[in-house]
Amino acid sequence: MHQPDDELEQELRRLAARAEPVPAELVQAAEDAFAWRDIDAEIAELVYDSLLDAEEASLVRGPAEQRMISFTAGGMTIDVEVTGAGPGRSVMGQITPPQRATVEIRHRQDTVTVEADELGRFRSGTLPPGPASLRLRPPPGAPGPPIVTDWISL
Amino acid sequence: MAVDRDDTGQLVRGAAGGDEIAWRGLVARFSGLVWAIARAHRLAGADAADVFQTTWLRLAEHIGRIERPERVGAWLATAARRECLGHLRTAGRVLPTDDMDRLDIASAVGNPTEEAVLAAEQEREDADLAAVLWRAFGRLPGRCRELLRVLMASPPPSYAEVAAALGLPLGGIGPTRARCLQRLRDEMAGIRDGVTPSL
């Protein structure tokens, strides 16, 4: 350890804490995130996001391109296509194997509920940008726990 | 380290069991790190807020399944880095690094919060140091600013967390830190001597 280095780093830390502290409303939001836990649900993990996992070359296309995201839980796959930019996004999804489900799209301001048809297809209306997660409930009478996807940023 | 690893592991286990106080403990311990990672990637405003919130929501969902509870900081850092890269790659948000550098320097000078901070610092003996330090920081190469900005998190992050935050090998953090801090000293000396024109 070099003492002068530690002192200089501490000086920088003090400056950063004053000049650009963590906004208080974000600390509050992080505390509130705990309330979103759904301990009964199975998690559908994010396994593919074209934004990060697509070939570099395909990322330099125009702004209108769609983003493809896949989640898996057990034997189920949820493929989602996100379109739109600026203040409005929309989501189109496919559950595989195809099945009916109630899909709750949870986002910062609200929860939007849509139904997946017998082919496992669903689509949202306009959603605001920001954190979002899907929660799938099997139709009444069908077995199995609800499934929640990893949170993504729309 | 302000909180030792055992304590961090305890907080994770507590939160996994539904203890909201433990969760708040994690937020207090690691908010600064997640925020610093967003800033190190030069995200601000709504983008930085999205990264920050998505990262914490993701942890809340996974809190019962963290394999190494004592390393939750590195887990958060990895998640935050991934979110940052996603935001940077979103069409229309990608700027050449040179433009980013210029924006950063401009914002360091024009940001009223920072001006207010610096004005308050004037009354202190070390006012000069703060002003020179901030200006010198803005002149560092991008990689040095990224590394130091993460290290500047409060409370101080571990090297493992810094490595996860920037996708760097753990063994490189110490040497790079030393080199960047030396570069910072050189820039400060240059500013004090008036060798480099002031902004």
Same domain, B64 and B103: no
Q: How many domains does chain B have?
A: 2
Mean of the per-residue pLDDT values for chain B? Answer: 84
Is A8 within 8 Å of B114 when comparing Cβ atoms? no
- Please, which pLDDT band fits residue A1 given cuts at 50, 70 and 90? low
- Please, which pLDDT band fits residue B8 given cuts at 50, 70 and 90? very high
- Please, which pLDDT band fits residue B112 given cuts at 50, 70 and 90? low
Of B50, B113, B148, Cβ closest to residue A19:
B113
Say whether A128 sits in a helix, a strand or coil.
Answer: coil
> How many angstroms separate the CA of residue B128 from the nearest CA in chain A?
12
- Please, which pLDDT band fits residue B199 given cuts at 50, 70 and 90? very low
pTM score: 0.86
Same domain, B65 and B124: no
**What tens digit of pLDDT does each residue of B31-58 get?**
999 999 999 999 999 999 999 999 999 9
Looking at residue B121, its pLDDT comes to 56
Q: Calculate mean pLDDT across residues B145-154.
A: 97
CB count, 10 Å around CB of B101?
18
Looking at residue B119, its pLDDT comes to 61
Cα-based distances in Å from A62 to A85, A86, B86: 12, 14, 16
Is B199 inside any structural domain? no
Same domain, B187 and B115: yes
Is A8 within 8 Å of B185 when comparing Cβ atoms? yes
Q: Calculate mean pLDDT across residues B52-77.
A: 96
Interface membership of A24 toward B (CB under 8 Å): no
Same domain, B75 and B108: no
**What tens digit of pLDDT does each residue of B89-108 get?**
874 554 434 333 433 433 44
Looking at residue B35, its pLDDT comes to 98
Same domain, B20 and B84: yes
Same domain, B103 and B126: yes
Looking at residue A24, its pLDDT comes to 97
Is B63 inside any structural domain? yes
Same domain, B81 and B39: yes
Looking at residue B9, its pLDDT comes to 95
Residues linked to residue A103 through DSSP beta bridges, in sequence order = A114, A136
Interface membership of B127 toward A (CB under 8 Å): no
Cα gap A70→A93, rounded to integer Å: 10
Q: Calculate mean pLDDT across residues B173-190.
A: 96
Q: Calculate mean pLDDT across residues A10-32.
A: 95
Q: Considering only A64-78, B65-79, B159-173, which range has the smallest mean pLDDT?
A: A64-78
CATH of the domain at B185: 1.10.10
Is A148 within 8 Å of B61 when comparing Cβ atoms? yes
Tracing tokens 């020179």 back to the chain, one arrives at B132
Looking at residue B127, its pLDDT comes to 72
**What tens digit of pLDDT does each residue of A78-133 get?**
999 998 877 888 999 999 999 999 999 999 878 999 999 999 999 998 899 999 99
Interface membership of B171 toward A (CB under 8 Å): no
CATH of the domain at B44: 1.10.1740.10
Interface membership of B12 toward A (CB under 8 Å): no
Q: Which domain holds residue B47?
A: 5-89
- Please, which pLDDT band fits residue A72 given cuts at 50, 70 and 90? very high
Same domain, B110 and B49: no
Is B198 inside any structural domain? no
Q: Calculate mean pLDDT across residues B134-160.
A: 96
Is A65 within 8 Å of B89 when comparing Cβ atoms? no
Question: What phi, psi does B56 have (nearest 5°)?
Answer: -75, -35
Same domain, B122 and B180: yes
Q: Where among B30, B62, B89 does a domain terminate? A: B89
Looking at residue A125, its pLDDT comes to 87
- B21, B26, B27, best to mutate vs chain A, most A CBs in 10 Å: B27
Is A16 within 8 Å of B51 when comparing Cβ atoms? no
> How many angstroms separate the CA of residue B135 from the nearest CA in chain A?
11
Q: Where among B89, B119, B140 does a domain terminate? A: B89
Looking at residue B95, its pLDDT comes to 45
Mean of the per-residue pLDDT values for chain A? Answer: 89
Same domain, B132 and B189: yes
Q: What are A117-124's contacts with CB under 8 Å, separation 24+?
A: A120/A94, A120/A95, A120/A96, A121/A92, A121/A93, A121/A94, A121/A95, A122/A92, A122/A93, A122/A95, A123/A90, A123/A91, A123/A92, A123/A93, A124/A90, A124/A91, A124/A92
Q: Considering only A95-99, B6-10, B86-90, B117-121, which range has the smallest mean pLDDT?
A: B117-121
Q: Percentage of chain B with pLDDT > 90?
A: 69
Size of interface A-B (CB pairs under 8 A): 139
Q: Considering only A63-67, A91-95, A96-100, B139-143, which range has the smallest mean pLDDT?
A: A63-67
Is B129 inside any structural domain? yes
Of A13, A19, A130, Cβ closest to residue B117:
A19
Looking at residue B105, its pLDDT comes to 39
Which tokens hold the place of A84?
Answer: 């739109």
Q: Calculate mean pLDDT across residues B149-178.
A: 97
Q: Where among B60, B89, B118 does a domain terminate? A: B89
User: What ipTM is given for this predicted complex?
Assistant: 0.91
Chain A residues whose beta carbon lies within 8 Å of the beta carbon of residue B59: 33
